[in-house]
């Protein structure tokens, strides 16, 4: 069987996780090129991956006939133009979250992918995490009765990158941090968001306050769903204490808890009656296996010529909810989602 040849576009942290997987651990796939607008970054990534091809312009990737598929891991504002170009070049696409900045962009990306017969998978890797998949199976088997409420939090230890401060360009932490939470709530409730009320504040990023007064590094979002379920999300950046991703699914007959906060299974007990353990310090380690399974399933979808397990519609609905949350924060009110419209 011919191996699927891939190019990485955007050689940052998430992009290189995918590239390393495809370079060594994904059956029937090989990474053959990397692209980054910063030449040194592109050359460095290619050297690490031990491949010869590197580009600084994504358009050159589209002209490369050896490349069958691309991984898009650039800042979100570039996703739409790159994905559309890849689809027109007949290359299958694994696009990091968030899928795009707006619903219109999501619709365009999906339309062009469909017209050109290519796969467009959104990188919501939690759907491929063993514990999340086990929880979904429990829900589907009725082990906690009917789902009533899903609560999810993602809190990252690091201060946001400066480009994230401009909400108009990044869509803020609801997009960069909480897209996974939003998708998890949709997945576990089996329903779309109906109403959203969110509050945000800047508590840890004083450098952003003068030029970007709308920036928030802490957000709380309450929601109702079309099927009557309830939801809660809290997201934060710069918490310092570790990477904290947990989820709770409450049903009519039970509850499911998800989330590992320990770096390892070692707990230290001292004579002063204190007890300590190391906190998970990065999403890169917590979801390492999920990234690999996500990448493997992307290749299987191409080979089997089937729909990806996470589609452009899933990406679109997350973007729509992010936009609803940001509108709620700005206007300090409940926002209703009606189809693709925010009311």
Q: How many C-beta atoms lie closer than 10 Å to residue 168's C-beta? A: 11
Q: Write phi, then psi, for 177 (nearest 5 degrees).
A: -105, -45
pLDDT in tens, 210-237: 999 999 999 999 999 999 999 999 999 9
3-class secondary structure per residue, 98-135: CCCCCHHHHHHHHHHHHHCCCCEEEECHHHHCHHHHHH
The pTM of the full predicted model, rounded to 2 decimals, is 0.94
Q: What residue segments make up the domains of the chain, in order of their start?
A: 4-124+290-310, 127-286+318-342
pLDDT score at 284: 64
pLDDT in tens, 160-203: 989 899 998 899 999 999 999 999 999 999 999 999 999 999 99
Fold of 4-124+290-310: Rossmann fold (3.40.50)
Q: Which CATH class is domain 127-286+318-342?
A: alpha beta
pLDDT in tens, 276-334: 888 877 766 778 999 999 999 999 999 999 999 999 999 999 999 999 999 999 999 99
- Mean pLDDT over 261-279 rounds to 85
Across the chain, mean pLDDT equals: 95
Q: Is the pLDDT of residue 24 over 80?
A: yes
Kindly list the distances between the CA atom of residue 123 and the CA atoms of 35, 55, 149, in Å, as whole numbers in the listed order.
19, 23, 24
d(CA 122, CA 306): 15
The SS3 call for residue 207 is: helix
* Angle formed at CA 187 by CA 164 and CA 214, multiple of 5 degrees: 25
d(CA 38, CA 138): 46
């Amino acid at each position: 069987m011919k191996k699927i040849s891939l190019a990485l576009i955007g050689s940052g942290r998430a992009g290189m996780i995918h590239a390393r997987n495809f370079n060594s651990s994904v059956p029937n796939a090989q990474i053959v090129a990397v692209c980054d607008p910063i030449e040194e970054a592109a050359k460095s990534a290619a050297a690490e991956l031990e491949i010869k091809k590197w580009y600084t312009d994504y358009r050159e990737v589209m002209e490369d006939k050896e490349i069958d598929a691309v991984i898009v891991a650039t800042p979100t504002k570039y996703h739409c133009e790159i994905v559309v170009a890849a689809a027109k070049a007949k290359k299958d696409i694994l696009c990091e979250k968030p899928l795009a900045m707006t619903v219109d962009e999501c619709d365009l990306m999906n339309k062009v992918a469909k017209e050109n017969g290519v796969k467009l998978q959104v990188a919501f890797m939690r759907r491929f995490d063993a514990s999340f998949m086990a929880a979904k199976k429990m829900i589907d088997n009725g082990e906690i009765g009917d789902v009533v409420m899903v609560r999810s939090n993602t809190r990252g230890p690091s201060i946001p990158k400066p480009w994230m401060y401009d909400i108009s360009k990044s869509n803020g932490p609801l997009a960069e941090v909480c897209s996974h939470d939003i998708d998890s709530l949709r997945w576990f409730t089996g329903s779309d968001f109906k109403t959203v009320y969110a509050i945000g504040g800047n508590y840890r990023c004083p450098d952003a306050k003068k030029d970007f007064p709308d920036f928030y590094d802490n957000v709380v979002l309450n929601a109702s769903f079309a099927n009557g379920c309830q939801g809660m999300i809290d997201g934060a950046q710069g918490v310092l204490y570790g990477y904290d991703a947990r989820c709770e699914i409450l049903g009519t007959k039970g509850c499911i808890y998800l989330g590992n906060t320990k770096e390892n299974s070692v707990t230290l007990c001292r004579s002063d009656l204190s007890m300590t353990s190391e906190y998970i310090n990065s999403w890169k380690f917590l979801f390492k296996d999920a990234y690999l399974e996500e990448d493997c399933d992307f290749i299987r979808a191409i080979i089997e010529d089937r729909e990806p397990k996470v589609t452009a519609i899933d990406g679109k609905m997350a973007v729509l909810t992010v936009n609803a949350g940001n509108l709620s924060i700005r206007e300090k009110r409940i926002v209703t989602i009606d189809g693709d419209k925010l009311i």
